[in-house]
Amino acid sequence: MTRTRLIIGSRGSALALWQAQWVQRELQGRFPGITIGIEIIKTTGDKMLDSPLSKIGDKGLFTREIESALLLHHIDVAVHSLKDLPTTLPDGLVLGAICEREDVRDVFIPHPRNTIRTLLDQPRGAQIATGSLRRKCQLLHLRPDIQPVDLRGNLHTRFKKLEQSDWAGMLLARAGVVRLGWTDRIGETLSLESMLPAVGQGALGIEIRHGDETTAELVRPLHHLPTAYAALAERALLRKLEGGCQIPIGTYGRVVDENGRQILRLDAVVGSLDGTRIVRGHIAGSVDAAELVGEELALTLLHSGADRILQEIRAAALSHTPEA
């Protein structure tokens, strides 16, 4: 079947539109005979900006409405930040492509008036803003004296909130800052040894309907195998740990060449909310068994004490859930 029109579904933030427009340009360059448009769809996560992500749940928070439009044939593809996409997709949807990853690391953005550019050199008791439990956990593990401040909103909103605050700075994913052209605001790019990223951080996921072979053929050229292997391992690890925005989990997968063989290496960390307890793990395996590699590392973490940390976090979350 020949397609003459393709509609991309996207959130409306500047970063989400950058991502959707990048996919639009890539597809348009390959298939100039197809009219490709973008449909902006507001998600639950875009509407609920007053509560921390950890308090409002995370299953499809930034994807559910877009996926519904895809299932209803209102759009043909959905473009997501892969770290927003739940590890289990709704029936009828599949990942048609995982695009090449941007830098996976986090960055410290100092307040414009703050002359101290590096995170660990901030004074005792400095306030650092982030909306991520993963970042808070690893930050407090590095600097227990730091005061984390909760931060929500798109990148423009976060930069504005920082400028209007007395915080020392904030933590963000480097990928989004680079994509929107704000690299001059970066004080420091954090090492992977000090701050492991979120699952899928820096990568784009293109979601399509299962069985839509025409669309699958169109998006297939955007699929980047090394990124896909790494992301599949990270997502399998998260799925096995049953984690998400409510659990401090960091992980980083990458494909490396060792003596002419492609090896998948995966690091991960699970920590308590206050950063006092951290369980780390590392594994290497075959790229052809990426999901098994992720699941094996998850089991290693659980047996090393992550199970107790996760049980405590979930029990605390349940105890703070109001009755219906």
Strands (E), 111-168: 127-129, 147-149
Cα 43 from Cα 16, distance rounded (Å): 12
84 is annotated as an active-site residue: yes
What is the distance of C-alpha 304 from the center of its chain?
A: 25
Q: Which residues contact 69 (CB under 8 A, 6 or more apart)?
A: 9, 39, 41, 75, 78
CB 216 within 8 A of CB 208: yes
Q: Which is catalytic among the residues 84, 106, 212, 267? A: 84
Relative to beta strand 249-258, strand 261-271 is antiparallel
- Count other Cβ atoms within 10 Å, centred on residue 279: 20
Structure tokens at 236: 């399998």
Residue type at position 78: A
Catalytic residue annotation: 84
